Structure 1
């Protein structure tokens, strides 16, 4: 691992546990065991560091969404896999990066505010596209508003992360997501 990638990994962890405003280069230097000057060499500004974290995260995140689309043909399975990403990110006592950033929107520089909005749009676009596919395939109820459903799913998963984080308990998949899925499914015909 290079110092730069170590910095990004550790800084992402700090961003998702302490938040943007609360973490400093001193925290980062202590965690990695290098001098603050070395961090400034790689990332002259905290904003630049945060942008690099979000860009790296977004790259991995978009890849994960592509993998989900490639691996699962069923929309319910895709939505389940999407929800699992939130459960996994919550396991280490971390908030999802987009949620951690959104919680501090007012403290963020303009560039990061825009990236945070883009990040949520990526979630919603993916959800809306898959909901539309599920409706077209007859897997999901056709009469439901896909835009609203995408919002409800994202609200539930992000909100579930915050509630689990605040209560310091296990992020429970039954935080309402299964309940939503049951409401979306087209009922099996009775024989």
Structure 2
């Protein structure tokens, strides 16, 4: 891997475990064993580094969402795969990146505040389209308010990640999401 790539990887972990305000270039230098001046060569500002992290993450995240849609015909399966992303994301004491950013929203530079908003909108737009599809396919209740249900799912998954992080335990996908999903299913789709 290149130094730039190593910096992005290490900084993402620090951002998701310590938060934006709490990590420094000194932490990065210690982690990947380079001088702080070398970090400044690649990323002159912490804001620029964080923007690069979010852009890289968003690229991977969009690909994950596309892959979930491509690999799963059933909307129920898609929603379960979406929830699994949160469970995997919270491994090793890390918050999902969007949650880590949102937790420090007021401490972030304006550029990162805007990117955080876009990040959540990507989640919600994906959920909106899949919930509507689930209704059209008869997998989800037709009377559901798509906007409210999308928020409920995202709130449940993000909240579960924060509770797991605060308690320093393993995130359990079934710690609320399965209950929510069961309530969304159309009667004919219950096992």
- TM category (shorter chain) comes to over 0.9
Cα distance in 2, alignment partners of residues 127 and 188 from structure 1: 21
**Structure 1 residue matching 2:187: 3-state secondary structure:** coil
Cα distance in 2, alignment partners of residues 169 and 93 from structure 1: 8
1:170 Cα offset (Å): 1.0
Q: Which residue of 2 aligns with 1:169?
A: 169
Runs of 4+ with deviation above 6 angstroms: none
Equivalent residues in 2 for 1:33-182, closer than 5 Å: 33-182=33-182
TM-score using structure 1 length: 0.98
Cα distance in 2, alignment partners of residues 20 and 8 from structure 1: 13
Q: Which residue of 1 aligns with 2:23?
A: 23
Contact 2:139 2:189 in 1 (8 A): no
Cα distance in 2, alignment partners of residues 189 and 166 from structure 1: 35
| Unaligned stretches of 5+ residues in structure 2 | none
Alpha-carbon distance change, 30 to 83 in structure 1, aligned in 2, over 3 angstroms: same
Contact 2:89 2:96 in 1 (8 A): yes
1:188 Cα offset (Å): 2.4
| Unaligned stretches of 5+ residues in structure 1 | none
Contact 2:124 2:151 in 1 (8 A): yes
Q: For this pair of structures, how many residues does the alignment match?
A: 190
Cα distance in 1, alignment partners of residues 142 and 116 from structure 2: 31
Cα distance in 1, alignment partners of residues 189 and 150 from structure 2: 26
TM-score using structure 2 length: 0.98
